């Protein structure tokens, strides 16, 4: 049963890669090459499959045919670019030079990336570092003060 599930996931990944190769003439921001699709782990396959659920203007940057390190150009200079590293059971998400998150579950990583890209996470930048909280957390938002940002730009109170 597990072999059948892995085969189906591999076929889905191959289909996604083929579909993207037909219509994608976007530049690649890859810094290193990933394994062949049939060598991807089930976590990696799940991550790439779920990456198609990201907003279309961003999902194009995250594909196994583009390598294992991805860069989504930032929209907010203060936050910086979104960098994503995929390696076996680990998914690193870095925003600019000041925030880095590590996930071991592909669904958690994609949900977090999706929340960033859809402006659902607020990042407060201070001299002591960067904190983050969900935008619907009214208490954290009211206590945050100045210099709060979402992916698309600074937040104004």
**Is the pLDDT score of 13 beyond 70?**
no
How many domains, the chain?
A: 1
**Is the pLDDT score of 140 beyond 80?**
no
What range defines the domain where residue 76 resides?
2-118
Asked if 76 and 65 count as a contact pair (C-beta separation under 8 A), the reply is no
* Domain contains 146: no
Res. 16 pLDDT band, cuts 50 70 90? very low
Could you tell me where the beta strands, DSSP code E, fall in 27-152? 69-72, 82-87, 90-95, 99-103, 121-126, 129-134, 148-150
- What is the value of pTM for the model shown? 0.72
The tally of CA atoms less than 13 A away on the side-chain side of residue 152 is: 10
* Domain contains 88: yes
How do residues 70-107 score in pLDDT, each as one tens digit?
A: 999 999 888 999 999 998 789 999 999 888 999 999 99
């Amino acid at each position: 049963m597990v072999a059948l599930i892995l085969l189906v996931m591999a076929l889905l990944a191959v289909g996604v890669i083929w579909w993207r190769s037909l219509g994608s003439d976007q530049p690649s921001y890859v810094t290193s090459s990933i394994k062949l699709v049939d060598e991807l782990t089930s976590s990696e396959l799940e991550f790439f499959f779920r990456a198609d659920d990201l907003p279309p203007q961003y999902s194009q940057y995250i594909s196994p045919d583009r390598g294992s390190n991805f860069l989504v150009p930032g929209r907010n200079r203060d936050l910086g670019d979104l960098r994503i590293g995929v390696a076996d059971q680990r998914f690193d998400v870095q925003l600019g030079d000041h925030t880095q998150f590590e996930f071991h579950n592909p669904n958690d990583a994609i949900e977090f990336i999706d929340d960033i890209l859809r402006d659902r996470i607020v990042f407060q930048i201070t001299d002591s570092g960067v904190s983050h909280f969900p935008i619907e957390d009214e208490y954290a938002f009211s206590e945050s003060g100045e210099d709060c940002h979402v992916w698309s730009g600074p937040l104004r109170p």
